[in-house]
Chains A and B, each alone.
Chain A
Amino acid sequence: MKAMYQAYNEEMIELSKKNGKIVLLYGDFPRGAAGELFQKEHPDRIYDVGIAEANLITTAAGLAGGGYLPFTHCHSIFAVGRAYNQIRQNVAFDKLNVKIVLCNSGMLWSFMGGSHQIIEEIAAMRVIPNLVLVSPSDPISTKKMTRAIAEYTGPVALRISAPPVPTVYRDDFPFELGKAVTLTDGSDATIISTGMVLSDVLEAADTLAKEGIKVRLLDMHTLKPIDEAAIIKAAKETGAIVTVEDSSILGGLGGAVAEVTAENAPVPVKRVGIKDRFGQSGTVPELKEEYELTARHIVQAVRESVKKK
């Protein structure tokens, strides 16, 4: 178990040794290991602009205009919610090479409550032209994603969740931006998930296998551009899809998958995620139970979908 932000920080340390163009910008946000190392090793390449998310994003855009590779860090709710226009206008509009790290992403973040749990980041970020939106699911995929977006030239938003998550992938796992990962194959239904819910999805798949329902699992780590080919193939070959996300099903992964299937291969799509509600304080298991995000809920959704085929 490791938090995705820890894996991200470790990778940033590695990247900063090799790429002298990387600069970090914070909005009065805990810096963690990567920030401390940057402060020590590259004091000229780290900025904390204070509690000012709009200025954070646009200043990063200016640094990209000046030839550098900025990564911005602040709570996702405030990057997306308070600096939406800056992300759209100052970063994405000109395809500037800014990486917007959406820290404490998603709604499964205990204690802080509904004001800090973001349900709308996938919906808001995936409709911005030019912006790539990625959402790794475990510590290893977080590292690989961090490297991939640093190597990609252009604007990217990266979802990083706060709670520790199990390691699912191996270090040598091949990984490609924009290409969904097929974790298990099956013909009865497909589960497509994104972000930190992957271990719940794996648990659900085990339970379903014991019942004789063999599911295909797709980790949709790149939400924009979404892997349409993998979705269409899954719809045609398995006939039913369940999406799982720690985000609003309205416009989120569920919405994105439904758009693709509706136009290309109409099949039942059942969306497991936040159902048009705000979050609240609680532990991760409590929140998963209350917002119907446990393996049990995923199993139930697959059973219902298979019946609709």
Chain B
Amino acid sequence: MAHDEKLIQKLAEKARIIRRDAVEMIKAGDSGWIGGSFSQADIIAALMFHQMKHDSKNPDWEDRDRLIVSKAHCCETVYAAFGEAGYFSKELYKSYGHMGATLQAHTERIVPGIEYSGGSLGQGLSFALGEALAARIDAPKDSSGRPVPRYRVYCIIGDGESNEGQIWEAVMAALHYKVDNLVAILDHNKFQSSGTIEERMNMMPWVDKWKAFAWDTAEINGHDFEAILTALENADRVKGKPHIIIAHTTKCKGVPSFEHKNLHFCKLSDEMYAEALEALK
């Protein structure tokens, strides 16, 4: 069933704001990961402003849903989403990446709302697994004696970072423990640091790999809110196994002239900055 048009519009607007704020952050920090930060922005907007239960006034609420962004270098749209949700003042954006700043150049748990300090790739899914297991301990049980997890864990991983073997260790263990409150989302933007996935370490076909590990799988356009919301809702209904959403995305989505280029870690020239702000007006 199609989702309410107003909801879709709201999420599109939130995605625009977090991309725009991320541009400001990257300019203030004089560097950033615009490509991978922007490819995941629509998914983050859907999670933060619709799907997840959380409370900016109570960031440590025990039963909050968790967002683990394993590709933690793509931190700007993550910070922007939590800032937009009211977890901290947007004033912090100005000091992004500077000495002593709360907003460091990879996400850190010290920031209100941020669950995971990344930077070393391939580890976030294991952390998310631990959080998902914790949600089942001391949880109420359903009529068949299965624990009803106190919260859900969403973990965004990158296609490039899936080169890391630990991802697949976590994949095995999550299935072994039948963790159904864990949803992995692959931000499949087709690039890794130094080139395309195809050129560097071709891991295609993606879906077959996850299916071989017996995860429940879906494959969507990661910029289509209708598809994102439907996939997240379907993931909620899966019982007894973890779920992966392979989201086809575009590196640097949102600034047309940057799209499909391997803008990974980069500086924004004055011209690029103006162009990005114009596109995200």
Contact = CB atoms under 8 A, between A and B. Distances in A.
Interface of A: 20, 23, 44-45, 47, 49-50, 52, 54-55, 58-68, 70, 85-86, 89-90, 93-94
B62 A90 contact: no
Contact of B137 (A23, A54, A90, A94): A23
Contacts of A65: 66, 109, 115-116, 127, 130-131, 134
Interface stretch (B166-174, B202-210, B268-276): B166-174
A49 B134 contact: no
Nearest to A54: B166
Interface string B111-129: 0000111011001001111
Chain A contact residues: over half helix, strand or loop, or mixed? helix
Nearest to B133: A63
12 contacts: A44-B136, A50-B169, A59-B133, A62-B126, A62-B130, A62-B134, A63-B130, A65-B131, A86-B166, A89-B117, A89-B120, A93-B117
A89 B126 CA distance: 13
B134 A94 contact: no
A86 B115 CA distance: 16
B167 to A, nearest CB: 9
Nearest to A45: B137
A10 to B, nearest CB: 24
Given A49-B173, A65-B130, A86-B123, 8 more contacts: A23-B137, A44-B147, A55-B172, A59-B130, A62-B127, A65-B109, A66-B133, A89-B119
B166 A63 contact: no
A55 B134 contact: no
A68 B133 CA distance: 10
Contacts of A55: 126, 129, 166, 169-170, 172-173
A293 B134 CA distance: 44
Nearest to B110: A94
A76 B108 CA distance: 28
Interface centre among B131, B133, B147, B166 (most CB of A within 10 A): B133
B117 A68 contact: no
A66 B65 CA distance: 11
Nearest to A96: B109
Contacts of A54: 123, 126, 165-166, 169
Contacts of A47: 133, 173, 177
B135 interface: yes
A54 B126 CA distance: 9
Which 3 residue pairs are nearest across A and B when measured between Cβ atoms? A62-B130, A66-B134, A58-B126
A69 to B, nearest CB: 11
A73 to B, nearest CB: 15
A29 B115 CA distance: 29
B127 A90 contact: yes
